[in-house]
Amino acid sequence: MSGRAFALALGVLVACDRGKVEEPAAVPAAAPTASSSPVALSTKLARPAPERLVAIGDLHGDLDHARRALRLAGAIDANDRWTGGRLVVVQAGDEIDRGDDDRAILDLVEDLKRQATAAGGELVALLGNHEIMNASLDFRYVTAGSFAAFPAAPGDEAGVPGMSAQQRGRAAAFAPGGAYAAMLARRPLVAEVGDSVFVHGGVLPKHVAYGLGRMNDQVDDWLLGKQHAAPAVVTAEDGPVWTRAYSGEDGEPDCADLTRALAALRAKRMVVGHTVQHRGVNSACGGAVWRIDVGLSHFFGGPIEAVEIRGDSVTVLREGAPADR
In the predicted model, is pLDDT for residue 11 greater than 50?
no
Query: In the sheet where 289-291 sits, what is the strand order?
Result: 46-47, 190-193, 196-199, 269-272, 289-291, 282-284
Residues 160-218: tens digit of each pLDDT? 778 999 999 999 999 999 999 999 999 999 999 999 999 999 999 999 999 999 999 99
Q: Which one-letter DSSP state was computed for residue 191?
A: E
Closest CA to 292 of 265, 324, 316, 321: 316
Closest CA to 192 of 43, 65, 85, 314: 43
Residues 76-113: tens digit of each pLDDT? 999 999 999 999 999 999 999 999 999 999 999 999 99
- CB count in 10 Å sphere of residue 283: 16
Cα 82 vs. chain centroid, distance in angstroms? 21
Q: What is the mean pLDDT of the chain?
A: 89
Residues 43-64: tens digit of each pLDDT? 578 999 999 999 999 999 999 9
- CB count in 10 Å sphere of residue 275: 21
Helix ranges (H only) for the chain are 3-9, 63-72, 102-118, 129-135, 144-148, 156-159, 168-174, 179-185, 205-210, 212-223, 232-235, 255-265
Q: What are the structural domains, with CATH classification, of the chain? A: 3-13+40-318 (3.60.21.10)
Strands 88-91 and 190-193: unpaired
- Residue 274 among the catalytic residues: no
| Phi/psi of residue 19, nearest 5 degrees | 85, -150
The one catalytic residue in 130, 200, 207, 274 is 130
